[in-house]
Amino acid sequence: MMTLDQMMEKLKSELDEGRYMHSVNVMHTSLALAEHYKADSEKAALAGILHDCGKNYKGDRAREYIKQIGYPADEIEWVQTRLLHGIIGEHLARTQYGVLDEEILGAIRWHTTGRAGMNLLEKIVFVADYIEPLRSFDGVEEMRKVAFEDLDKCVVLCADSTIEYIVKKGVLLHPRTIETRNHSLILLKSRNTA
Ligand SMILES: [Fe+2]
Ligand SMILES: [Fe+2]
């Protein structure tokens, strides 16, 4: 596996400046969340810095990559190709950055939509992607606060925000985003009634 410095150098040369800065921020935010929730900080940093490493693959280029690796993209992913950068990112992390750790790979893979039953590292990167300091949208301050109070509650807020954004934009909404929201809400409810 590459060192963190080597990964950062490679990403810096491949991503545009804004995307690279976002990646560095997601790394720092993931680290802060990992410390707060006692997750593995090294894994959080690596997953954070690499989470968007597949972001250069868009449209037909993304479709080609996906065909090549044999991922069974569904109809929505096939149309909304930005949904594929997590899957592509996971593959690049494995093949170009030498990441073998399944937890790191999972956090990269699922960061775009989340999934039902995310593990701690997956939740951390999913949330860090929304709340990193460069993000500015209505409600982000509240999300930044909730992220350090209740991670599952913050996952719900992130999914809500995506759903609102996607509906307003009039593009396809992936069911995994809804599953992420529902699953986290069920977790919250079962915790509150326990
Ligand atoms: Fe992303
Ligand atoms: Fe991102």
pLDDT > 90 in the chain, percent? 97
Q: Is 15 helix (H, G, I), strand (E, B) or coil?
A: coil
pTM over 0.95: yes
Burial of 151 (0-12, 13-18, 19+ CB in 10 A): buried
Give the tens place of pLDDT for each residue, 85-96: 999 999 999 999
Q: Say how many Å lie between the CA of residue 72 and the centre of ligand 2.
A: 23
CA of 150 to the centre of ligand 2 (A): 21
Confidence of residue 71 (pLDDT cuts 50, 70, 90): very high
Tell me the ligand closest to 18's alpha carbon: 2
In 3D space, the residue among 147, 157, 158, 156 whose CA is nearest the CA of residue 183 turns out to be 156
HEC assignment per residue over 62-97: HHHHHHHHCCCCCHHHHHCHHHHHHHHHHHHHHHHC
If residue 122 lies in a helix (H) or strand (E), which one and from where to where? helix 120-131
Ligand nearest to C-alpha 127: 2
Inform me whether the pLDDT recorded for 194 exceeds 90. Answer: no
Quick one: 20 exposed, middle or buried, by C-beta within 10 A (0-12, 13-18, 19+)? middle
> Which ligand ends up closest to the CA of 25?
2
- Domains defined along the chain, listed by start: 4-137 (1.10.3210.10)
For residue range 8-37, what is the model confidence (pLDDT) as tens digits? Answer: 999 999 999 999 999 999 999 999 999 999
- Ligand 1 centroid vs 27 CA: distance in angstroms? 13
Say if residues 155 and 180 touch (Cβ distance below 8 Å). Answer: yes
Question: Which ligand has its closest atom nearest to the C-alpha of 108?
Answer: 1
Average pLDDT of the segment spanning 107-130: 98
Q: pLDDT tens, 37-54?
A: 999 999 999 999 999 999
